[in-house]
Structure 1
């Protein structure tokens, strides 16, 4: 599954690697569980939803 990300100040979506996804989530949520959050994001975007974590949005690549 390819995941695209977009910060709220950006206009384009970018395909992002999993290591970078974890780093981005960790920056947004701090000491909370970034791996657990990434698993939640992966499950939620399977149905076509866009998920927002802090100032970053995630979606499945079309």
Structure 2
């Protein structure tokens, strides 16, 4: 699964690797569980949804 990210101030979507995804999520939610949040994001975007975590949006690359 390839995941694209986009911050609210960006116009383009970027394909992001898993290590970077964890860093972004940790930055956005602080000390909460970033691995659990990433698992939720992966499950939710399988249905074609775009998920926001803080100021970053995630979607599956089709």
Instruction: Please tell me the TM-score bracket, short chain as reference.
Output: over 0.9
Following TM superposition, the consecutive aligned residue runs of length 4 or more in structure 1 with deviations greater than 4 angstroms are none
Number of residue pairs matched by the alignment: 62
Q: Deviations over 1:2-60 (max 9, x none)?
A: 00000000000000000000000000000000000000000000000000000000000
The aligned counterpart of 1:33 is 33
TM-score (norm 2): 0.99
Consecutive unaligned residues of structure 2, counting only runs of 5 or more, are: none
TM-score (norm 1): 0.99
Consecutive unaligned residues of structure 1, counting only runs of 5 or more, are: none
